Structure 1
Amino acid sequence: MSPSRLSVTEPALANLVIKPWVEAALVEDLGRRGDVTSQATIPADKQAKLDIRARQSGVICGMDLARLAFELVDDEIEFCATITDGDWVDAGSILAQVSGNARNLLTAERTALNFLTHLSGIATATRQIVDSVAEFPAQITCTRKTIPGLRVLQKYAVRCGGGRNHRLGLDDAILIKDNHIAISGDITTAIAQAKALAGHLIPIEVEVDNLEQLEEALDAGVNLVLLDNMSPSMLTKAVAMCQGRAQTEASGGITPESVVAVAKTGVDFIAMGYLTHSTTALDIGLDFSSDV
């Protein structure tokens, strides 16, 4: 199935939120002496106009980070975007035009493109997977398998692609996994202890990998069960057991090739670490347009 070209409207991240990431990336790139190549080869007063252009079709994400990269290097650079995050673009499309001091344009180039290509790759992969299971009720979610320090941005990209976010961090919800169960003793004990701490505003999810564990978890009472590394046939049985008792989430090595079979089982959610740890960057470039 070809990806949908419908835009996903996702509230943009505020400048105050994204600025630390962009500043850190620029500092890393500029090092101790700045952009010595541009200083050596381009006159200090040279002006230029360049196009940010998609070299592949896909869903764009990271436009505000790209804009801010140029602005932080030189606040006189003009950044004129033609699309917004969540938009589908065809290969060859111009995403934005940037104009101003040529040295400063090239200094900001790699930082701007690094954010754009990485986040657009996640958004595009998410859109492809969401579209592939559109006829089923399952919703696609990401996981905490993110690049350290970039989680907020990567999860934002998932939303721009039409997916949903799982926990942002360890403090969002209680997810009782196999090691929690092993150390606490058993599923029933772990859930009871979780309920004692959680209060009424923190949801409780428990991971199970067979139907016996699932029955124990349901008897103990949870909001959501994570059905880990189950075959489609076992998932179908698990979903039937959970009807009216808990929502279901499939997880464990799910790929674009296997996601449809998982969705057919009737699960409510499909968690895919693939979205943030294994997707390929979208090819986007900065091409010289003209002198100014």
Structure 2
Amino acid sequence: MSPITEPSFAHLLPPSWTSQVQAWLDEDTPSFDWGGYVVGEVQREAFLFGKGKTEAVLAGVPFFDEVFKRLECEVEWHLKEGETFQPVKHVATVRGKARHLLLGERVALNAIARCSGIATISKRFKDIAEQNGYKGIIAGTRKTTPGFRLVEKYGMLVGGIDPHRHSLSSMIMLKDNHITSAGSITAAIERARAVGGFTLTIDVEVDTEAAADEAIAAGADVVMLDNMDATQVSSVANKLRQKWDGKRKWLFEVSGGVEEGNLREKATNDVDIISTSAVHQSVQHIDFSLKIQQPKD
């Protein structure tokens, strides 16, 4: 019997993801490749360097690999995905025709730079929370770049945090606009449960203790305390846990304004989930470069 292989985050990717890579390549070279004409198809070797100024997490390996696979190039990694490195680090070596190396260069670097940037700050958020004694979940949000969500959610996973919901179909989240349109928190939850059944979690956004209480009474699985300060969060969470002890089960989520600078304040064990867009919106990319090497004599 063959041994079971170690699971990889790449195994999570859907069958359709490789078509996105082709779309990236098509976007980058919609017509003639003028520079490729200059270099031709001589075989060359290129070194991928991880640069920047601080320690970083390597993420986005499947996307980088797929770019060059489509261009008939081979990639040899000198670092495992998820490992950290200090710049400047020779991360990988890519071999293939010079024209093909340059066709894939920018597309592959863009993907790995963004993905690694998200993984790096995700790991930093997780580390800060754990150092503060937080035992709950750090999660991203759905405020991702259109067309690039898969890469950004992947970076969160590699960085060690929860990617939260991937789309409108993966969880039922009822926010203020849903509640206003439905007429009440209770009505919104009842309608959602009627069609979502037992397989979908219902997450309800609230901004007052009374609203949180109503959400719990109506059967919310997750109650998101939105834009409350740490004192309010602790007060609401403790009061409602006491009130509903033994009667209801749910999780408290905190969201809104969570940043690296205030994470220690927010990371209280009165809440189960801390969700933030700060791990992917406006994140500094990790600087990578691909350098074709001079052929050896």
TM-score w.r.t. the length of structure 2 is 0.88
**2:196 & 2:14 partners in 1: Cα distance?**
33
Which range is displaced more, 121-130 or 237-246? 237-246
The answer to whether residue 105 in structure 2 is matched with residue 79 in structure 1 is: no
Report the equivalent of 1:169.
167
Q: 1:266 aligns with which of 263, 266, 270?
A: 270
Alpha-carbon shift at residue 45 of structure 1 (Å): 4.3
Taking a change above 3 Å as real, the CA distance of residues 10 and 263 of structure 1, as seen in their structure-2 partners, is farther
Report the equivalent of 1:149.
147
Report the 3-state secondary structure (helix = DSSP H, G, I; strand = E; otherwise coil) of the residue aligned with 1:291.
Answer: coil
TM alignment of 1:220-259, pairs within 5 A:
220-243=218-241, 244=245, 245-259=249-263
Alpha-carbon shift at residue 242 of structure 1 (Å): 4.3
Q: 1:118 aligns with which of 94, 105, 114?
A: 114
TM alignment of 1:1-292, pairs within 5 A:
10-13=8-11, 14=13, 16-34=15-33, 36-40=34-38, 42=39, 44-56=40-52, 57-73=55-71, 75=72, 77-134=73-130, 135-243=133-241, 244=245, 245-264=249-268, 266-291=270-295
Taking a change above 3 Å as real, the CA distance of residues 15 and 187 of structure 1, as seen in their structure-2 partners, is closer
Alpha-carbon shift at residue 265 of structure 1 (Å): 5.1
Partner letter of residue 137 of structure 2?
Q
Report the 3-state secondary structure (helix = DSSP H, G, I; strand = E; otherwise coil) of the residue aligned with 1:33.
Answer: coil
Contact 1:10 1:86 in 2 (8 A): no
Alpha-carbon shift at residue 78 of structure 1 (Å): 2.3
Where does structure 1 lack aligned partners over 5 or more consecutive residues? Answer: 1-8
Where does structure 2 lack aligned partners over 5 or more consecutive residues? Answer: 1-6
Taking a change above 3 Å as real, the CA distance of residues 242 and 278 of structure 1, as seen in their structure-2 partners, is farther
**2:75 & 2:223 partners in 1: Cα distance?**
46
Contact 2:141 2:275 in 1 (8 A): yes
Indicate the RMSD between aligned Cα atoms, in angstroms. 1.7
Aligned-pair identity in percent equals 30
Alpha-carbon shift at residue 194 of structure 1 (Å): 2.0
Report the 3-state secondary structure (helix = DSSP H, G, I; strand = E; otherwise coil) of the residue aligned with 2:95.
Answer: strand
**1:108 & 1:261 partners in 2: Cα distance?**
43
Alpha-carbon shift at residue 256 of structure 1 (Å): 0.9
Deviation readout 1:227-248 (Å, 9 max, x if unpaired)? 1000110111122134354211
TM-score w.r.t. the length of structure 1 is 0.90
Deviation readout 1:72-116 (Å, 9 max, x if unpaired)? 12x2x2211112321111111111101222222112111110111
**1:219 & 1:163 partners in 2: Cα distance?**
30
